[in-house]
Amino acid sequence: MKRLRLGQQEIVFTVFAVLFLVFSVFLHGFLTPENMLTLLQNVAVLGILGLAMAIVVIGRGIDISLIAALAVPPGLVLQMVQNGHSLPASLLVAFLLAIAFGLVNGWLIAYAEVPSLFATLATGLLLAGLGQAALFQLDVVQWSAGMDGFERLGQGTILGIPTSIVMFAIACVVVALLLRRTRWGAYIYAIGDNPYAARVTGIPSRPIIVLQYVIAALIGCFAGLVMAASVNSMPTRIFNSTLIYDVVLVVVLGGIGLSGGRGGVLNVVIGTLLIGTMLNGMTIMDISYAGQNLIKGVVLLLAVITDSFLNPRNEETAQQGDI
C-alpha cells in the first residue's frame, strides 16, 4: 500500500489554497477577475526571475548575480536610447552584454571551478559596479522619446490579459520546453542529480553548466526589460535591494531543492502564486510594512517546518551540498 507522502510542493500548494480560500471568503474585493489579474501582474517579473533561478538551481548551482543581469543590460538600453542610439542597436548591445556576462559566470563555475555562490556574488557586484561607474549617468535611468512603443512589453493588455502576465506565461512555456523536451534539459537534470555520474556517462557537463548561466542571464535581462517597460524607467539601484532573496524564496518554497536535480516550471509557478496571494491580500487589508514582513516570515517558516516534519532528512535523502 502506498502511503500518501506530502512533498514541499504539495504543502506549499495547500498553504496557497488555504490562504486563497480564506481571502476569498473574508476579504471583500479579493476574488474578482480584475484583482486576480493584478495579483499575477504584480509577481510576473518575480516569476520570470524565478524561472532563471530554477534552471541554475536544478543544475545544482545558484545565481546571485541575477539582479545585476536584470538591472544593467536593460538600464543600458534606456541609457543608450537617451543618448541618441537606435532602439534595435541598443537592444542588441544589451543582449550581447547579457550573453557575455553569462559566459563569464559559466566559465568561472564550470572551468575555473569556483563555487557558484561566490562566483556569482562577485560577478554581480562587478556588473552592477560597472553600470554605476561607467554606463549610467543616474541611478534611475529615465524613459526617453526614442523608447516609445516599447512600453507595450510591460503595459497594456493582450486579449484582455495584462502583458506582463503574458510575458511570464511565454517564459514558462519556453523554459518548460527547454527542461522537458530537449536533450540539454535532460543533461541539466542529470548534472544536478549527480555531476560525477553525469560526466562519466559522457554528458558534456562543463559546456552545459556554461549554457545554464547564459540562459539565466538572458532571462534576467528579459525580466528587466519587462520591468523597465512596466514602470517607464529602470531603477538600477534595485541591485541593492533584497529582491534576490525573494527569487531564491520562490524557487525553494515552490519545492525545487537547492541540492539540484529536482523540480520544474510548475514549482516556480506555485511559489510565485503563494507570494503573490500573500502580497495582494495584505495590500488590500492595508497591513503595515512591519506587519507584512512578520506575516511573510511566519508563513514561510511554517511551510519549511512542516516539510521537515513530514519528510525528515536522513543519510539516504540528504545530498552533499544540501543547504
Residue number with CB closer to other proteins (241 or 308): 241
Q: Which three cell numbers stand for residue 152?
A: 507595450
Task: Kindly state the DSSP code that residue 157 receives in the 8-state scheme.
Answer: E
AA identity, residue 131:
G
Cβ 239 to other proteins shortest distance, Å: 10
Cα Rg of the chain (Å, integer): 20
Burial readout 303-321 (b: 16 or more C-beta within 10 A, e: otherwise): beebbeeeeeeeeeeebee
CA 5 to chain centre: 28
Residue number with CB closer to other proteins (207 or 235): 235
Cβ 142 to other proteins shortest distance, Å: 4
Residue number with CB closer to other proteins (42 or 194): 42
Cβ 294 to other proteins shortest distance, Å: 13
- Inter-residue long-range contacts of 125-132, CB under 8 Å, 24+ positions, other chains counted: 125/68, 127/65, 127/68, 127/69, 127/72, 127/101, 128/67, 128/68, 128/71, 128/72, 128/236, 128/239, 130/72, 131/68, 131/71, 131/72, 131/75, 131/76, 131/236, 132/236
Residue number with CB closer to other proteins (122 or 279): 279
Cβ 43 to other proteins shortest distance, Å: 8
Cβ 34 to other proteins shortest distance, Å: 5
CA 12 to chain centre: 17
- Footprint on this chain of other proteins (rule: CB under 8 A): 29, 32, 34-35, 38-39, 41-42, 45, 132, 136-140, 142, 144, 155-156, 162, 227, 230-233, 235, 237-238, 240-241, 279-280, 283-284, 286, 288-290
Q: Which three cell numbers stand for residue 305?
A: 517546518
Residue number with CB closer to other proteins (42 or 319): 42
Residue number with CB closer to other proteins (49 or 53): 49
Cβ 242 to other proteins shortest distance, Å: 9
Cβ 188 to other proteins shortest distance, Å: 30
For the chain, where are the alpha helices, taking DSSP H only?
Answer: 8-26, 33-58, 66-82, 87-110, 116-130, 163-181, 183-193, 195-200, 205-231, 243-254, 265-284, 289-310
Residue number with CB closer to other proteins (1 or 145): 145
